[in-house]
Amino acid sequence: MHRLINFGLLVAFLICYTNWGHNEVGFIAQIEYDIFKYSAAATSAIQNPLLVLAFPGEILFFVGIFQSNNTKRLTLAGLILVGIPVLDILVSGIFNGQPLNALSTIPFLAIGILWFIRQRKLKEED
């Protein structure tokens, strides 16, 4: 189950939709693709500290997908690192009148909340 949750969190983060710079919009996956493909041309995206913060979190989710033992700490660290940009996208979408941005964060937030609920239930069972 932990592999499915890590995979879901990774995919849900990649489908978050955001605006940055001057009229530059896209899904996080598109932004990251541009960063890796056109690193010199995507300097405005590279300079965004929230995306730089999210890269280690994505790596933690990716490691959690393939690790066979309990990945509670990896997932929690990934949730924190990736959750900060997701919450930023949510807040900016709400306050800037961009409902698509705010709505795109719902899958990530829902899976993250479900993970916390699951961890609480597992802790109560022990």
Q: Quick: pLDDT tens for 53-67.
A: 888 999 999 999 998
Q: Which domain holds residue 48?
A: 2-125
Q: Are strands 17-20 and 24-27 parallel, antiparallel or unpaired?
A: antiparallel
Match 């961890």 to its residue by tokens: 119
> pLDDT tens-digit profile of 9-56?
999 999 999 887 677 788 999 888 877 777 655 555 556 667 778 889
Checking 36-39 for CB contacts under 8 A at 24+ apart, the result is none
Structure tokens at 5: 């949750």
pTM of structure: 0.86
Q: The tokens of 28 are what?
A: 């996080």
Residue the block writes with tokens 């300097």:
43
**Total tally of structural domains belonging to the chain:** 1
Place of tokens 């900060």: 84
